[in-house]
């Protein structure tokens, strides 16, 4: 780091020399105004002598006028020189001020620009990553060092939600479960609507408490309200019910997982075994978790209760959009009128273009969802105010009517709300 700043100082010094030399030369070439003032005094004396010679008869009128004209010409010529000298003197005074300003401002400006536009973090010790690749995995000591670095980094960036999640998972890998739980608490505070983070936090709490009852189960239910199809949350909800011996409730949660998974998923066998065990403990007939036809129908309903595709922005409108502008993606009935959207999600313009999925979990009104209709119109709107109600100057784009369950829908935001 010392070497870096020595090089910076040398470069600044060279720059100052290049800038100051012309100013110093101009300062040295200034003409003193005192010389001009002496000349003007001499001219006044000579004029008085001419007037005296005319009065005494030494000069006649013609000679007097010729001599006076010659004297006035020399006075005018010298006055022009005096003006140039005055300007030069003024320039010299400004030159001194410029020199002082340059000496002070150039180093300050250079250093300030470096901290604004450069990479000052590059001067700090970086996260130790030596020998961390597929061919040379990190040693336990190196991994511990990286986790320590991340924890210190988050002290300076406490609002970095992704960083807290990464730290929590790193602590889990190190079996530092108390620290992992604290990191998850930070992440949940920053992302209270993130079902995955909530579920991971509940799982960690359950590990510490050795039970899913109480606070862990409350958090799981909170996650399921946000994302009813979160597989890990459904699994934990079933386990919590099984733990309190509510076997039918456990079967309900686990059955939903089977309804969401394809028949050839490797998880199906394990979930089916759990359901079979719960049915036996509940005194229910030992049967398949669900008839194949019922599972297929449930999976079909889930598939038909969604639409997906890509949202993109017309390049002609790019200059009018800021990264922080809100983007609403929604599905509505074909003959919408004033009815609320069937589903809606919210993003930011910096994420454009992005892939989306709208499903029944994003419904705004009970029973009024995508699976309740056969076709929808999908739209996207950019709002600078962040208000869900359209306003003038907002930008928007819509699809043609599409069947529910359709994928690969492409919507271009290419018009202004009038």
DSSP state of 361: G
The better pLDDT of the pair 87, 365 is held by: 365
Mean pLDDT of the residues in the chain: 74
Determine which of 50-59, 292-301, 370-379, 396-405 has the lowest per-residue pLDDT on average.
292-301
Segment 155-208, tens digit of pLDDT: 888 888 888 988 888 888 888 889 988 999 999 999 898 998 899 999 999 888
Segment 306-355, tens digit of pLDDT: 899 999 999 999 999 999 999 999 998 887 555 678 888 888 999 999 89
Q: What does the alpha-carbon distance between residue 278 and residue 261 come to, in Å, rounded to a whole number?
A: 20
Given a cut of 80, is residue 302 above it in pLDDT? no
pTM beyond 0.75, yes or no? no
Cβ neighbour number for residue 360 with a 10 Å cutoff: 20
112 CB burial (10 A radius; 0-12, 13-18, 19+): exposed
Residue 22: pLDDT band (50, 70, 90) is low
Question: What is the sign of the dihedral through the CA atoms of 274, 275, 279 and 280?
Answer: negative
Segment 227-243, tens digit of pLDDT: 998 889 999 999 999 99
187 CB burial (10 A radius; 0-12, 13-18, 19+): buried
The better pLDDT of the pair 32, 47 is held by: 47
Given a cut of 70, is residue 356 above it in pLDDT? yes
Determine which of 45-54, 126-135, 304-313 has the lowest per-residue pLDDT on average.
126-135
């Amino acid at each position: 780091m010392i070497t870096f700043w020595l090089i910076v100082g040398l470069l600044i010094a060279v720059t100052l020399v290049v800038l100051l030399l012309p100013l110093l030369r101009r300062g040295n070439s200034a003409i003193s105004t005192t010389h001009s003032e002496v000349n003007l005094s001499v001219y006044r004396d000579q004029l008085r002598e001419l007037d005296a010679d005319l009065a005494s008869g030494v000069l006649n009128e013609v000679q007097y006028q010729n001599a006076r004209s010659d004297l006035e010409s020399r006075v005018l010529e010298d006055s022009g020189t005096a003006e140039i000298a005055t300007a030069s003197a003024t320039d010299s005074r400004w030159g001194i001020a410029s020199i002082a300003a340059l000496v002070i401002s150039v180093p300050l400006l250079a250093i300030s620009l470096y901290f604004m536009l450069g990479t000052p973090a590059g001067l700090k010790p970086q996260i130790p990553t030596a020998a961390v690749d597929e061919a040379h995995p990190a040693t336990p000591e190196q991994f511990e060092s990286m986790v320590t670095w991340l924890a210190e980094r988050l002290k300076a960036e406490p609002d970095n939600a992704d960083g807290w999640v990464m730290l929590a998972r790193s602590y889990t890998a190190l079996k530092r479960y108390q620290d992992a739980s604290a990191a998850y608490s930070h992440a949940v505070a920053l992302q209270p609507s993130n079902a995955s983070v909530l579920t991971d936090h509940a799982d960690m709490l359950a590990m510490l408490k050795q039970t899913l009852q109480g606070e862990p189960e409350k958090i799981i239910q909170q996650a399921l309200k946000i994302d009813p199809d979160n597989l890990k949350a459904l699994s934990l909800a079933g386990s919590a019910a099984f733990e309190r011996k509510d076997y039918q409730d456990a079967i309900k949660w686990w059955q939903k997982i089977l309804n969401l998974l394809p028949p050839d998923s490797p998880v199906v066998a394990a979930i089916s075994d759990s359901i079979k065990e719960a049915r036996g403990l509940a005194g229910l007939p030992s049967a398949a978790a669900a008839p194949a036809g019922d599972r297929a129908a449930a999976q079909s309903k889930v598939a038909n209760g969604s639409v997906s595709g890509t949202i993109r922005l017309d390049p002609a409108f790019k200059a009018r959009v800021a990264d922080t502008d809100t983007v609403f993606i929604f599905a509505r009935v074909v003959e919408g009128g004033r009815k609320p959207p069937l589903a809606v999600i919210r993003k930011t313009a910096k994420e454009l273009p992005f892939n989306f999925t709208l499903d029944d979990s994003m419904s705004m009104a009970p029973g009024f969802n995508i699976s309740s209709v056969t076709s929808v119109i999908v739209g996207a709107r950019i709002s600078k105010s962040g208000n869900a109600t359209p306003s003038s100057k907002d930008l928007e784009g819509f699809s043609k009517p599409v069947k529910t369950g359709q994928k690969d829908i492409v919507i271009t935001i290419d018009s202004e709300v009038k």
